[in-house]
Structure 1
Amino acid sequence: NMRYSIVVPYAKQGRFNHAKVSIKLPEEIATVILQYIKQFELPTNNQLFDLGNYAVTYCTTAINEQLFEFSPQEYQQRVSNGELIQIKYTSSQFRHHVAYSMALSGSSAEDIAYILGHSSLVTARHYIFSSPNLAQIRAIALGRNPVYQQIIAMLMTGDIITHEQDHGKNIIGFINNKIHINIGKCSYKANCFLEPVRSCYGCVYFHPYINGNHKEVLECVQYELESIIYMSDAVYNSSNPIIAINEATKFEIQSVIKRCKLNSELKNADD
Structure 2
Amino acid sequence: MTKGQTVKVLAPIALDGIQNLESGQFYSRAGYLVDLLDERWKLSKDIDLPIGEHSKVFPGDSYKLRQVLAFYARHNSPYHVQNLMWRLTHYVQALNGTQLFSVDSIISYRASLDKSRAWYLSAVRVFMRQWVRLGYPGIPAETLTLLNNIKLKGNEKGRAVQSQCPEEGPLTDVEMQGIVESTTHCLAKKILGLTETAMLMTFVMTGRRPGQVSALKLKDLIQLESKYYINFPRAKQRNMGWRSSFKKFAIVEDLWMLLREQASYVQALFGKSLGAKVIPAHLNDELPLFPNMSEDLSLALELEVLKTDRLHIPSIEITRAVVDVGEKISVISERTGMPLHLTPNRFRYTLGTNLAREGKGEYVIAEALDHTDTQNAGVYVKNLPDIVERIDKAVAIQLAPYAQLFRGVVIRSEKEAIRGNDPSSRISTGNRNVGSCGSHGFCSALAPVACYTCAYFQPWLDGPHEEVLDGLIQERDRVNSLTGDLKFASANDRLIYAVSDVINRCRIAKGEIK
| TM-score above 0.5 | no
The structure number with the bigger radius of gyration is: 2
Q: Taking structure 2 as the reference length, what is the TM-score of the superposition?
A: 0.22
